[in-house]
Amino acid sequence: MPIGISRRLDHVRSEEFWDRVMHEAYEILPAQGSMSVADIMVRLRMTTLKGGRLVKEALSEGMPRKKIEISVEYERYFQRVGKDAYARLPGWDGALGTRTRAG
């Protein structure tokens, strides 16, 4: 397989994996309240944790924080609460869902 195609497949696999992690993190967060990334990490499924070893961007506490912060910046799915806690952003139907309210 040519190197360019292999790199593209690795990128696609990584993006799909992180989409699943963000969905799972969103589902872990309580409907009301917040959690730290460390609290989210200990609640991830074992299959998710194992899958994190197979992608380019390893699943450590720093990477989910980075991915969640990107979502916070774009006002999608998550909101920051305090210094190191996150909550569901009101108006979303799941982490990969659609906005259920105008705005």
The residue extents of the domains of the chain are 3-88
- Mean pLDDT value of segment 33-51: 92
User: So what's the pLDDT on residue 57?
Assistant: 75
**When comparing pLDDT for 15 and 56, which is higher?**
15
- Dump pLDDT digits (tens) for 71-95: 999 988 899 999 889 999 887 766 5
- On the 0-12 / 13-18 / 19+ scale of CB atoms within 10 A, 32 is exposed
pTM confidence score? 0.79
Give residue 49's pLDDT.
86
Architecture of domain 3-88: Orthogonal Bundle (1.10)
pLDDT at 34 over 90: yes
